[in-house]
Amino acid sequence: MVLSLITLAATVPLLATSTMQLSDQANNTSSRGETEIKTQKCNFSVRASRRMSPKRRQELADRVLVLRDGRLVLDHKLYGDYHPFTAYFLPYPEKSYDGLVTTVNDENFLNWVYIESSTHRVKHGIRAEAEPQLTGPMGLVFSRDGEKRLSFEGWEGFVVVEEEPGQWALYFDRDDNGLGDKAHGKPVIEVELIRLDHKEKAGRT
């Protein structure tokens, strides 16, 4: 059957409108899904980026983020000697972006996560401590394989510094220069922070 030009002209806008509506629905569903994910508690594993040597990648294999002395550091397991970095996103007060909070004890007391302006070290503290520092925007990068990774200011610039032999602390390479003199000559490894579904401590109800 051959459609008349008038029929065809009437059909094309309808098809275009339907396509746009389906696209909008898909985008809205995706946005809702991302919002739900960001408000759920999660942990983070640490992986050396592909630009690092095989030796460095092996050195950081099976590491996770935990809290120690107000900082975010690497450990081999979530529930060892330190409280696990257990985070989710919240709108930062009086700002137009999302910040990141973490529980700091088993009673679920919360601290804000921030980047210390002078050192670029990643730390956590109460709002009064976080306020003068770099607090966001915090976000997630959604990869095609389903992996979700932490970002700050719209990109993944996280690194770890070996502050003591075998002890790695998290920093953000804001100037994209390997931390420059902020590393004080200590080893620096570019890393990716992979979101993990939150795991409760064994024995907790």
pTM of the model as a whole: 0.82
**pLDDT tens-place string over residues 155-174:** 999 999 999 999 999 999 99
**pLDDT tens-place string over residues 15-56:** 444 444 544 544 444 456 778 889 999 999 999 999 998 988
Strands 158-164 and 188-197: antiparallel
Q: Give the residue extent of every domain in the chain.
A: 7-38, 40-197
Gap between the terminal Cα atoms of the chain:
67
Pick the CATH number of 40-197 from 2.60.120.260, 3.10.20.30, 2.40.37.10, 2.80.10.50: 2.80.10.50
**Rounded to whole angstroms, how far apart are CA atoms 112 and 140?**
17
C-alpha distances (whole Å) from 178 to each of 117, 151, 157, 172, 183 are 16, 17, 9, 9, 8
